[in-house]
Structure 1
Amino acid sequence: MKENKVYILLTDTGTLFTRAIKLYTKKPYNHASISFDPDLLEVYSFGRKNVKNPFAGGFVQENIQDRLYNNATCTIFSYSVTELQMQKMKHYIHQIEKEKHLYRYNFLGLLAIIVKKPIKRKNAFFCSQFVATVLQECGIYDFTKPLSLVTPHDFQESPGLQLVYQGNLSDYNQEGTDQQNAI
C-alpha cells in the first residue's frame, strides 16, 4: 500500500514585509504553505498575488522557482495521511482554487494575532490559518487554539510531523543533494 504524505513548507524570504513580521514574532519562519508532492511542484497558500506588492494577497499556487524564493530559508515537514484524508485535502483546496475570486488575504487576522484575540472572517485567510484549516477540516491535526491564531511556528510543535529538510529552499531537491544530511 502506497504511503501518502502531505508537506508543510515554512519559509522566510527575507523581504521587507517578512522582516517586519519576523521582528514581531522573533521566529525563524513567517510563511506557511502546503503541498502534496515531495518535489513541491504544486504549493498552495494565502499570500501575495504579485511579487512586488505584499498587500495584494489571496489564494495562491506558489512557484518555489520564482525569484522571490531565491534566498529563502525553509523547513519542510511531512505528515503521513490516509488516502481519504489526501482526497479530502485536495478537494478542499481545489474548491477554494475554483472560487479564488471570492477569497482574500486576512490582514485583519494578522493584527488579531498581535492582540491574541481570534477573528473569524468569511473567505479570508492568512497563510498559516489556511494550512491549519486544511489540516483540521480534513482530520489530520486538531489544533488546540483557534485557527485564526495559528502561526507558522505552531506547525513546528505539532506531533506527528516528520522533518524532511531544513536549509536554503533553492538547494532543496537539487541534483545530488542528500536531503537527510542537510538537516
Structure 2
Amino acid sequence: MEREKVYLLLTDTGTMFTRMIKLYTRKPYNHASIVFDQHFNEVYSFGRKRPRNPFIGGFVNEDVRQGLFKNARCAIYSFDATEQQIDKMKAFIHKIEMEKHLYRYNLLGLITFIINKPYQREHAFFCSEFVAQVLNKGGISQLQKPISLVSPNDLQNMKNLQLEFEGQLADLLDNETTNQVYPIIY
C-alpha cells in the first residue's frame, strides 16, 4: 500500500496571546497546523481569522508566507499515511470548510484545558484539538487522552513522527527555490 507524507507544523509566532499561552505551557510551540503538501499550500488549523485580533477565530486555511508566520519559529514533523487515511482527513476538513460559518475558535476549551477538564464543544476547536481530531478521523492518532486536552506538545510527542525542520519558518520557505526544501536544523 503506497504511503504519502503528511506534516504537522508547530509554531511560535511571538504574539502577546501566544506568549500568554507559553507562560502556562512552558513549551516552545503553542500553535499546531496540519499540512498536506510539501510546499505548504494546504495548511489547516483553527486560529485567527484577523491577524491583529486573537479573539476572532475559527477554521483557517493558513498562508504561512505572510502575516504572523513571517517571523515564526517552527518545528515540522512528518508521518506517513495511506491514500485512504488522507482522504478521510481531507473529507473531515472539507466538511468543516463548507460549514466554516458554524465553527468558532474554542476559547472556552482553552480554559477547561488549563484546569484539565475534558470539554468537547460542538462546532468549536482550538488549534491542537482540531489537528488531533483530524488525525483521529484519519485513523492516525494514538493519543492517550481526550482530544479536548491535546496540546501542540502532545502532538509533537506522537510516535512515528520524523523531524523534518526546526528553525525560522521563513528560512524554510526561502529554501524552496533552491530545491533544498527540508533542511533539518537543530
Q: Which category of TM-score, normalised to the shorter sequence, fits these structures?
A: over 0.9
* CA distance 1:3–1:14, change in 2 (3 Å): same
Give the equivalent residue in structure 2 for 1:73: 73
- Partner residue in 2 for 1:85: 85
Instruction: Classify 1:144/1:181 alpha carbon distance in 2 versus 1 (closer, same or farther; 3 Å).
Output: closer
**Partner of 2:183 in structure 1?**
180
Matched, 1:109 2:109: yes
Pair 1:178–1:133, CA change in 2 (3 A): closer
RMSD over equivalenced CA pairs, Å: 1.3
Q: Does the 8 A contact of 2:163 with 2:184 survive in 1?
A: no
- Measured at CA, do residues 110 and 56 of structure 1 come closer, stay the same or move farther in structure 2, by a change above 3 Å? same
Check the 8 A contact 2:2/2:82 in 1, yes or no: no
Is 1:156–2:156 an aligned residue pair?
yes
Separation (CA, whole Å) in 1 of partners of 2:87 and 2:35? 13
**Counterpart-to-counterpart distance in 2, 1:141 and 1:99:** 24
Q: Distance in 1 between matches of 2:19 and 2:138?
A: 32
Residue 181 of structure 1, CA deviation? 4.1
The offset of 1:164, in angstroms, is: 0.9
Aligned to 1:64: 64
Unpaired stretches in structure 1, ≥5 consecutive residues: none
Aligned residues: 183
Aligned partner of 1:147 in structure 2 is 147
CA distances 1:68-98 after superposition (whole Å, capped 9, x unpaired): 1111000001110011001111111011000
Normalised to the residue count of structure 2, the TM-score between the two structures is 0.94
Contact 2:166–2:184 (CA under 8 A) maintained in structure 1: no
Residue in structure 2 matched with residue 54 of structure 1 by the alignment: 54
Is there any run of 5+ residues in structure 2 with no aligned partner, and where? none
Residue 46 and residue 26 in structure 1: after superposition, are their counterparts in 2 closer, same or farther (change >3 A)?
A: same
Identity of aligned residues (%): 56
- Tell me which residue corresponds to 1:42: 42
